[in-house]
């Protein structure tokens, strides 16, 4: 099961059956399953073997195909440049506090700074995997601007990317979460009548 917000990043890739794509930091596999269900050829990259096993079990249960790879997503190289990459990056998970109220007590001073370094490294690697014109969706389940909009703006300044703006037509009931740049920020106050949803930051880019 995924929170509604967690289902958005893969959906916003708009994968087609003849495309190739990678899901970086893929376990437990909910987003990989969404991508595989599109009919695209999907590589699921996960560093930790026990998490990769869980991912493979989930894909087998759903009868969905994907190439599972145990590797550091920041070092993995695809066999050919990809049409699309999903990077749901490691983060502080502050957007999940409504469901996991222990999150603030598990974090240490300095965690966010260390995580932003990882996020920048993975963004650089993700762009290198793409063909020119390929799509990148960057997402974090965090409410912290350092991990979300600041990372997206920094990536635009140092990587060959342009914003592929998310539109109100794509997220008709969440358009209040759109930023002027075309990024999407969800938070528990959205969809309040349905119980809310997790806090996510989502940016979509094209490689120049």
Which residues are the active-site residues?
141
The radius of gyration of the chain from alpha carbons, rounded to an integer in Å, stands at 16
Give the β-pairing of 200-207 and 184-186: antiparallel
Whether 68 contacts 25, CB under 8 Å: no
> Could you tell me whether strands 82-88 and 20-24 are parallel, antiparallel, or unpaired per DSSP bridges?
parallel
Give 14: exposed, middle or buried? Use CB within 10 Å, 0-12, 13-18, 19+. Answer: middle
């Amino acid at each position: 099961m995924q929170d509604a917000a967690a289902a958005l990043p893969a959906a916003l890739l708009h994968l087609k059956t003849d495309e190739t794509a990678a899901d970086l930091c893929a376990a437990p596999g909910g987003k990989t399953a969404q991508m595989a269900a599109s009919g695209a050829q999907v590589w699921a990259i996960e560093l930790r073997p026990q998490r990769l096993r869980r991912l493979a079990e989930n894909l087998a249960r759903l009868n969905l195909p994907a190439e599972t790879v145990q590797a550091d997503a920041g070092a993995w190289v695809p066999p050919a440049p990809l049409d699309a990459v999903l990077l749901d990056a490691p983060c502080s998970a502050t957007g999940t506090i409504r469901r996991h109220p222990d999150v603030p007590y598990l974090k240490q001073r300095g965690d966010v700074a260390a995580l932003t370094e990882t996020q920048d490294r993975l963004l650089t690697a993700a762009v290198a995997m793409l063909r020119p014109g390929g799509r990148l969706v960057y997402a974090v389940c965090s409410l912290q601007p350092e991990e979300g909009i600041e990372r997206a703006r920094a990536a635009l300044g140092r990587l060959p990317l342009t914003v592929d703006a998310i539109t109100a037509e794509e997220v008709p009931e969440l358009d209040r979460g759109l930023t002027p740049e075309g990024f999407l920020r969800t938070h528990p106050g959205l969809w309040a009548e349905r119980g809310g949803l997790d806090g996510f930051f989502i940016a979509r880019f094209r490689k120049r």
